[in-house]
Structure 1
């Protein structure tokens, strides 16, 4: 698990949260799971890629998605 990973989890009061592992606050809150999943993918892509883990209403993991890095406006200059 990396700091770029995000979990899409149900919120007690309704709706869905996008959370980083171990975070006390949500990165985003949406009305639907689909909106939360899209937002999580966007956050992970902008952070350099990682995993989006999608949980069901029961809180159990139901799917996961690997997101490649997005277009970096400042790519590394070194050529190894």
Structure 2
């Protein structure tokens, strides 16, 4: 499985998880919350990034599960 970022996007009145550059969606869900949970699971397994889009298609949140080039200092 490749390390492709996962996107949660609006899809025909529902919400879908789609791998970056993919023509088909990975899964379709009734709510954005369920789609985010599934996308997060996939991105954690792949060590990739999850990008959450709003209804207008704009990215509203990002969640990195890979090798973050700017990890938090602590």
**Structure 2: runs of 5+ lacking an equivalent:** 68-74
Work out which of the two has the higher radius of gyration on C-alpha atoms and give 1 or 2: 1
Give matches, 1:1-80, under 5 Å.
3-11=3-11, 13-47=12-46, 49-68=47-66
**Structure 1: runs of 5+ lacking an equivalent:** 70-80
Aligned-residue Cα RMSD (Å) equals 1.7
SS of equivalent residue, structure 1 residue 58: coil
SS of equivalent residue, structure 2 residue 64: strand
TM-score scaled by length of structure 2: 0.80
Query: Offset at 1:4?
Result: 2.8
Aligned pairs, how many?
66
TM-score scaled by length of structure 1: 0.74
